[in-house]
């Protein structure tokens, strides 16, 4: 019993210490926040050919995932002001097929951005959006379409999840990395994640609802590896399938508060219907996105 009490005291003190540090939420990137993967390794777009750099006024702002030759999946908060107003799509572009920031690949202008109708800016729910490009992408060894999970698929607890993005490899660095980075973390049980953020609410005047449409991932009680500002909108992968969209978190790489991702399988049907409704003529009536039906026995 005393061991449990000591552990609880340690957790409470650690919570209080983390809260007193007052790190910022990493959920708003339209002001030009720089991407950051904490504790990861350099990788290439040849390994992740669906990785997209979303540029805001020609500067890296968010990550994204190529899901058709015309469409990029990302987070809604990358395109919405805190007031709830949609940012002008003409201010965005997408660099595709390059491992490097500000060079290589091809840059495509954006013609339209569709944010989920139920996206809620203050609480970051339904944080998903589909971006339509002005020109079609040519597939190659460094440019390929991602695979999405079937609607309703569930990622098991405590399994490896890979997050990718561009930017700072250390929170203390002011300048972002020039190369794509990857980091492996682990899925955190939703109830555990929810309890951690509910506790945080008691120390702040903010609300941190963790819903069933989210996936938490990190190194729980260890920290040191995570995504952060600007990595928002980028993919979280389980067994090569894009199961999450980097959405929000308390600080970066915190031991007690894992990162929170939009659960893609909660929105696969919405993504598919949105792509159908905003596709050039001639794409046909078939599903234009890659849905990995064989993921069902792996995830359920």
pLDDT band at 8 (very low <50, low <70, confident <90, very high): very low
Which of the following is catalytic: 33, 127, 226, 231? 127
Structural domain includes residue 117:
yes
Could you tell me if 235 and 259 are in contact, meaning their C-beta atoms sit under 8 angstroms apart? Answer: no
Structural domain includes residue 239:
no
Q: State pLDDT tens for residues 204-214.
A: 888 899 999 99
Q: State pLDDT tens for residues 220-270.
A: 766 566 576 658 899 999 999 999 999 998 867 676 789 999 999 999 999
d(CA 138, CA 146): 14
Q: Is the pLDDT of residue 75 over 90?
A: yes
Q: State pLDDT tens for residues 9-51.
A: 334 444 444 443 333 334 434 333 333 466 778 999 999 999 9
pLDDT of residue 215: 98
- Which residues sit opposite 112 in a β-bridge? 132
Token pair 């809260």: residue? 19
Total structural domains in the chain? 1
Structural domain includes residue 9:
no
Structural domain includes residue 138:
yes
- Dihedral over alpha carbons 242, 97, 289, 47 (to 10 degrees): -40
In the residue annotation, 108 being an active-site residue is answered as no
pLDDT of residue 222: 67
How many residues are listed for the chain in this entry? 300
Encoded tokens for 271: 């993504």
Could you tell me if 52 and 145 are in contact, meaning their C-beta atoms sit under 8 angstroms apart? Answer: no
Helices (H), the chain: 2-20, 190-201, 268-277, 296-299
Structural domain includes residue 93:
yes
Q: State pLDDT tens for residues 164-175.
A: 998 655 555 555
Structural domain includes residue 21:
no
State the sign of the Cα–Cα–Cα–Cα dihedral 200, 202, 204, 205: positive
DSSP three-state, residue 227: strand
- Mean pLDDT, the chain, integer: 82
Encoded tokens for 249: 């978190």
According to DSSP, the β-strands at 147-149 and 290-292 are parallel
Q: Is the pLDDT of residue 160 over 70?
A: yes
71: CATH: 2.40.10.10
Structural domain includes residue 2:
no
CA distances from 211 to 14, 246, 278, 291 (A): 24, 15, 28, 23
According to DSSP, the β-strands at 259-263 and 214-218 are antiparallel
Which of the following is catalytic: 177, 187, 232, 247? 232
DSSP three-state, residue 78: helix
Structural domain includes residue 296:
no
Contacts 24+ apart (CB under 8 A), 290-297: 290/67, 290/145, 290/146, 290/147, 290/148, 291/147, 291/148, 291/149, 291/150, 292/147, 292/148, 292/149, 292/150, 292/241, 293/150, 295/147, 295/149, 295/150, 295/153, 295/239, 295/241, 296/150, 296/153
Residue-range definition of the domain harbouring residue 55? 49-145+266-286
In the residue annotation, 127 being an active-site residue is answered as yes
In the residue annotation, 77 being an active-site residue is answered as yes
Which of the following is catalytic: 77, 99, 108, 125? 77
């Amino acid at each position: 019993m005393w061991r449990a009490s000591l552990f609880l005291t340690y957790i409470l003190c650690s919570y209080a210490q983390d809260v007193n540090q007052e790190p910022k939420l990493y959920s708003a990137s339209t002001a030009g926040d720089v991407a950051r993967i904490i504790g990861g390794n350099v990788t290439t777009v040849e390994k992740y050919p669906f990785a997209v750099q979303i540029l805001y006024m020609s500067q890296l702002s968010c990550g994204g995932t190529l899901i058709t030759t015309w469409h990029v999946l990302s987070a809604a908060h990358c395109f919405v002001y805190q007031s709830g107003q949609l940012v002008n799509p003409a201010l965005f572009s997408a660099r595709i097929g390059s491992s490097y920031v500000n060079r290589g690949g091809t840059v495509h202008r954006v013609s339209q951005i569709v944010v989920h109708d139920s996206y809620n800016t203050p609480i970051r729910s339904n944080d998903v959006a589909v971006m339509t490009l002005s020109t079609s992408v040519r597939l190659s060894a460094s440019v390929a379409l991602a695979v999405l999970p079937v609607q309703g698929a569930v990622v098991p607890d405590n399994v490896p999840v890979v997050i990718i993005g561009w930017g700072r490899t250390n929170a203390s660095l002011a300048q972002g990395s020039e190369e794509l980075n990857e980091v492996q973390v682990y899925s955190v049980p939703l109830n555990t994640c929810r309890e951690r953020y509910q506790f945080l609410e008691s120390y702040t005047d903010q609300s941190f609802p963790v819903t069933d449409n989210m996936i938490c991932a990190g190194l729980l009680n260890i920290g040191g590896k995570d995504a952060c500002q600007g990595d928002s909108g980028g993919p979280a992968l389980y067994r090569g399938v894009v199961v999450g969209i980097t959405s929000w978190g308390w600080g970066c790489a915190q031991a007690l508060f894992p990162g929170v991702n939009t659960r893609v399988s909660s929105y696969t049907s919405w993504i598919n219907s949105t792509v159908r409704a905003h596709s050039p003529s001639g794409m046909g009536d078939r599903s234009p996105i890659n849905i990995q039906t064989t993921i069902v026995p792996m995830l359920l």
